A and B are shown apart, each in its own frame.
Chain A
Amino acid sequence: MSDRGRFLPLGAAALALALVPLFGPPSYVMHMAVQILLWSFIYTAWSIMGRFGLVSLGHGAFLGIGMYVPALLWNLYGVTPWLGIPLGVLLAVLSALVIGWPCFRLKVVGHYFALVTLALTEVARLSIIAARDITGGSLGMTPKPVPGGHSWWALQFVDKAYFFWIGLGLWLFGLWAWRAVDRSMRNPALEAIAEDETAAAAIGIGVTRLKLEVTLISAALTALGGAAMGQYLQYLNPETHAGIGISLQIVFAAIAGGMYAMLGPTVGAVLTLVLTEALRIAFGTTLIGAANTIYGVLLILFIIFMPRGIVGLIEERLRARGAKA
């Protein structure tokens, strides 16, 4: 399949999507759409490294850093998010470097890698809680609103359409980054590393450097997604936006959708958000926790029966049909 043939429909779909807010859909629909776009971007960012066997539980840290740095700079010093967001991304990349470089040099892989990155996530969560004087601790914090609520300088908008377009842009950017990794020599090399690290090193692949590159890209995009999420929600909480819970949520959505396919994480985002909303409506607020119970069981079933996710399964079916024809 040629790239051009594949991207034309995607481009048309993106353009059609961009026009959606102009028809003034209900606020609830817009809210769901913005969340789906932003989470799709974050899940895609995770999968950019996850698909090469680098299963990180540290993305809660990158997300939290990306969220809190611009919000704190804005609240404490009035620094615009236009400066705060790049700083947050930079800090996330630095922390990824601090964790990633020694891990990859010392060949910390598999569940060791997952547990070391989990430590990073906990450091982020607990640091935010410990700095409760400025972050509000477990109670969370709100970036100071601008009068009128609409400001490019503060990146705060009352109209959800702005965040829809930002989310759409980020999501397309995430897919582009995925393709860029695929097209460079990195993809075959990284797949070789995921298959057999020692053999890959033996044929001259710079294992440490490649893994580090893809990790830093993933961390940067995740922090960017976190920043956008924080600006949109206008509420930051260490328990839900840093820590093991959010890290696992990212991993699961990516797996459910299919982390090996470009649109897999997006499908995962749609699936998990629609499911969560459906269960919330079905059970209301009387049965708190019911939704997540079903969610947890589904995740176990996915990993056991469909480790390549929904998109992976569809691809398999299509391939089988193609082979038959």
Chain B
Amino acid sequence: MDIFLLEAIVNGILLGGVLALLALGLNLIFGVIDVVWIAYAELVMIGMYAIYWLHVFYGWPLLAACAVAILGVALAGVLVHRLIIAPILDTAPINQLLATGGLLFFLQSLATLLFGTNFRNIGLKLPIIEIGDMFLSYARLMAFVVAVLGAILLWLFLSRTFTGTAIRAIAQDRQIMGLMGVEPKRVYLIVSALGGGLAGLAACLLVLQYDVHPYIGLSFGPITFMICVLGGLGNLLGGFVAAFIMAQIISVGGFFFSIEMSYVLAFVFFIVLMFVKPQGLFSK
């Protein structure tokens, strides 16, 4: 097989890890609160800027900056829920999607206002790994490993802890679980913090590979939504698998065509599949 094609496939798997992490956070929020945060990728952008400024401007060690970014975006997640989602939780779900759309505008232009439209990167030069004749980016490999570890941790939390069980129970039945002594409001806040935290973690992994700028959310936001819908909105495992499928289309498509065409392919694949399996790839 062509070595460059193989390289594209491996890179696709690595990209899939980060996309899977993004999809997990969004899916968790959707599955439990029944809300689509259309500004999810913009929260990631805020995290990336936080890391950039703490690390480059204030000279913090990278790991400390990342930790603060994760906590900061988790807090932002709580605020999004308290300030935007909670007041309109009882109205049609589309209202919540659109309200977070207002947040998307706000965060994008706030970033432009504060940081300008320059592309900024943290200037970290990670080595390139050579396997056989393939060149792989260390940053991508690390992102993949951390993303998978994050997913496993989330799974352990959801399946092994009381809070995790309560979260899964709420996702299954809002009304009944309230009667069983689970406080939905508290669970919603925890889930929003978790979703935000996952966005923060994704920010740490993305800032190693990409320059940050106010519109970066647009380059991986839409694809994340498609992944979630493809996996079945709220279906964590489905989203996880769908992320790797989409990443493969993007990476291998980029090898054969241009990078934009590969995204077009991914979206067209999504649209076609919606008609074959409207409730997601893994619906029965």
Contacts and interface: CB of A to CB of B under 8 A. Distances in A.
A130 B108 contact: no
A106 interface: yes
Contacts of A290: 109, 113
A236 interface: no
Contact of A248 (B88, B95, B104, B270): B104
A244 B257 CA distance: 23
A122 B102 contact: no
Contact of B267 (A112, A119, A245, A300): A119
B112 interface: yes
Interface string B115-140: 01100000000000000000000000
B218 A245 contact: yes
Contacts of A288: 112-113, 116-117
A292 B93 contact: no
Given A99-B271, A119-B222, A112 B233 contact: yes
Nearest to A108: B278
Contact of A111 (B93, B111, B275): B93
A106 B225 contact: no
Interface string B202-221: 00000000000010001001
Contacts of A300: 84, 99, 102-103, 106
B87 interface: yes
B176 interface: no
Interface stretch (B50-58, B70-78, B149-157, B258-266): B258-266
B226 A119 contact: yes
27 contacts: A55-B98, A102-B274, A103-B274, A112-B278, A118-B225, A119-B222, A122-B267, A123-B264, A130-B261, A243-B218, A248-B104, A252-B102, A287-B113, A288-B113, A288-B117, A289-B112, A290-B109, A292-B112, A293-B106, A293-B113, A295-B109, A300-B84, A300-B102, A303-B95, A304-B87, A304-B99, A307-B88
A145 interface: no
B275 A102 contact: yes
Contacts of A89: none
Interface of A: 53, 55, 98-99, 102-103, 106-108, 110-112, 114-116, 118-120, 122-123, 126-127, 129-130, 243-245, 248, 251-252, 255, 287-293, 295-300, 302-304, 307
Nearest to B113: A289
A255 B117 contact: no
B94 interface: yes
A243 B222 CA distance: 10
B105 A122 contact: no
A108 B111 CA distance: 35
B91 interface: yes
Contacts of A291: 109
A106 B105 contact: no
A151 B99 CA distance: 44
Interface of A is mostly: helix
Nearest to B277: A106
B275 A304 contact: no
B197 to A, nearest CB: 23
Given A106-B278, A110-B92, A119-B270, A251 B98 contact: yes
Contacts of B105: 248, 252, 292, 295-296, 299
Contact of A289 (B102, B110, B260, B268): B110
A281 to B, nearest CB: 17
B36 interface: yes
Contacts of B101: 248, 251-252, 299
B229 interface: yes
B274 A108 contact: yes
B110 A303 contact: no
Q: What are the 8 closest A-B residue pairs judged by CB atoms, nearest first?
A: A296-B106, A289-B112, A292-B109, A299-B102, A296-B105, A289-B113, A130-B260, A300-B102
B117 A292 contact: no
Nearest to B270: A119
B264 A255 contact: no
A55 B275 contact: no
A145 B109 CA distance: 34
A115 B263 CA distance: 16
B125 to A, nearest CB: 28
B41 to A, nearest CB: 10
